[in-house]
């Protein structure tokens, strides 16, 4: 099978809308419509609801396609997005056991009672993979993308890593330890680096859960939040709810990062200002060196003048003045006396100049990167407008 492509039209805000609406039972039916970014519509082609299955493991998910491609009973779709529902507190449908044992504990097994016997039951991750494989086999897409929030984000990343899909998620806890050896190798070798993206907030213990130092699946970015849930804040999850991502997207549908280009440039200017401060320090040291040399020369001139007949030191010869100054000086180089450690001063200036260049270059690189990001966002916005005309 050829490698699956990235979805060609969905934006970050589309994935947010799909991750948000999958919490609504109304979309768990074929033909349901979800409106995404800039009026883009998506239609549900397949669903799964483990609450209606014999084994309740908390999985709810949908497969959607662009509405313009949708037709009832269609046998092939080029582009499919899978959206997985996150944890629903208060529902005893397997979500909490998934959060506790699979996500937090990294346990691949799901032991439960069936007909009075303890059995190893499918986890929501197992069921998610089975659902996706079944739908892909039915419709044979060339582009597959997964998305979700919280537990749903974990399931989305799991499926993506196992099957080498693209994925865009929100507040995904790390589930690396649940992966198969093949999927772990895919992550370790960097295959998912440019395929998996998760957006989270600072004040979210779930989105920042690293599964005790496990490797990150793809990349994770901290984004702007529109508020804090005061109740969940007690549990260090104040910025975890889906609503904290609402309206946190740009004009082109891309998520607004914690540091936007203008803010990044502002911080870069701080590095450039540090460069200026270091330059001032270097200049002050060099001015001190020059003034000291001038003052020593002036002192020697005055003292030698006094060695002339009638002077204060007429009994001394000029060379004795030179000898006396050399005796109290710290060091002498090339006939010049110094009252400080010249070698240390030169090393200090060298290191300061090196650091000054590093600050300047680093600041320039950050500004360049931020401007490139802004230009890219602008171009994406322009391209997207061209697509939807």
DSSP 3-state of 347: helix
Q: Length of the chain, please?
A: 389
Q: Which CATH number fits domain 12-258: 2.60.40, 3.40.50, 3.30.420, 3.15.10?
A: 3.40.50
pTM score above 0.85: no
The answer to whether the CB of 45 falls within 8 A of the CB of 65 is yes
What residues does each domain of the chain span? 12-258, 268-388
SS3 string, 269-302, reads HHHHHHHHHHHHHHHHHHHHHHHHHHHHHHHHHH
Report which of 107, 110, 126 is spatially closest to residue 118, judged by C-alpha positions.
110
Report which of 195, 201, 278, 198 is spatially closest to residue 240, judged by C-alpha positions.
201
Report which of 34, 273, 20 is spatially closest to residue 149, judged by C-alpha positions.
20
| Residue 338 buriedness (CB in 10 A; 0-12 / 13-18 / 19+) | middle
From first to last of its 389 residues, the chain has per-residue pLDDT tens of: 568 999 999 999 999 999 999 999 999 999 999 999 999 999 999 999 988 877 778 899 999 999 999 999 999 999 999 999 998 755 544 444 444 444 544 455 555 555 555 556 788 999 999 999 999 999 999 999 999 999 999 999 999 999 999 999 999 999 998 999 999 999 999 999 999 999 999 888 787 666 557 898 999 988 888 888 777 776 766 788 888 999 899 889 998 877 666 666 777 778 788 888 999 999 999 999 999 999 999 998 999 999 999 999 989 999 999 899 989 988 888 888 888 888 999 999 999 999 988 888 888 887 777 676 655 555 444 444 444 33
């Amino acid at each position: 099978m050829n490698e699956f492509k990235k979805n060609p039209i969905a934006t970050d805000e589309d994935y947010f809308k799909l991750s948000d609406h999958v919490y609504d039972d109304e979309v768990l039916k074929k033909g349901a419509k979800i409106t995404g970014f800039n009026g883009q519509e998506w239609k549900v082609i397949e669903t799964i609801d483990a609450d209606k299955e014999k084994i309740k493991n908390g999985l709810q998910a949908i497969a959607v396609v662009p509405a313009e491609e949708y037709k009832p009973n269609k046998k092939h779709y080029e582009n499919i997005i899978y959206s997985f529902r996150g944890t629903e507190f208060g529902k005893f449908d397997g979500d909490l056991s998934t959060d506790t044992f699979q996500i937090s504990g990294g346990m691949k097994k799901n032991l439960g009672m069936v007909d009075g016997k303890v059995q190893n039951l499918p986890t929501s991750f197992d069921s998610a993979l089975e659902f996706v494989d079944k739908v892909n086999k039915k419709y044979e897409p060339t582009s597959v993308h997964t998305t979700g929030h919280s537990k749903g984000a974990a399931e989305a990343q799991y499926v993506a890593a196992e099957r080498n899909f693209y994925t865009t998620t929100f507040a995904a806890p790390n589930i690396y330890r649940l992966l198969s050896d093949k999927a772990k190798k895919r992550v370790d070798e960097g295959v998912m680096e440019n395929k998996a993206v998760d957006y989270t907030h600072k004040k979210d213990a779930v989105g920042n859960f690293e599964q005790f130092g496990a490797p990150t699946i793809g990349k994770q970015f901290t984004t702007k939040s529109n508020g804090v849930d005061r109740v969940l804040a007690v549990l260090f999850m104040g910025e975890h709810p889906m609503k904290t991502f609402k309206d946190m997207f740009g004009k082109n549908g891309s998520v607004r990062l914690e540091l936007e280009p203008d803010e990044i440039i502002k911080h870069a200017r701080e590095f450039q200002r540090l460069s200026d401060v270091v330059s001032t320090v270097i200049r002050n040291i060099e001015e001190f060196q020059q003034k000291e040399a001038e003052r020593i020369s002036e002192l020697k001139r005055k003292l030698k003048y006094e060695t002339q007949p009638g002077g204060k030191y007429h009994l001394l010869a000029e060379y004795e003045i030179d000898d006396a100054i050399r005796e109290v000086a710290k060091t002498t180089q090339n006939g010049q006396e110094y009252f400080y450690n010249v070698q240390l001063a030169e090393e200090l200036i060298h290191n300061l100049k090196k650091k000054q260049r590093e600050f300047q270059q680093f600041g320039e690189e950050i500004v360049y990167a931020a401007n490139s990001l802004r230009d890219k966002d602008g171009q994406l916005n322009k391209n997207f407008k061209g697509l939807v005309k």
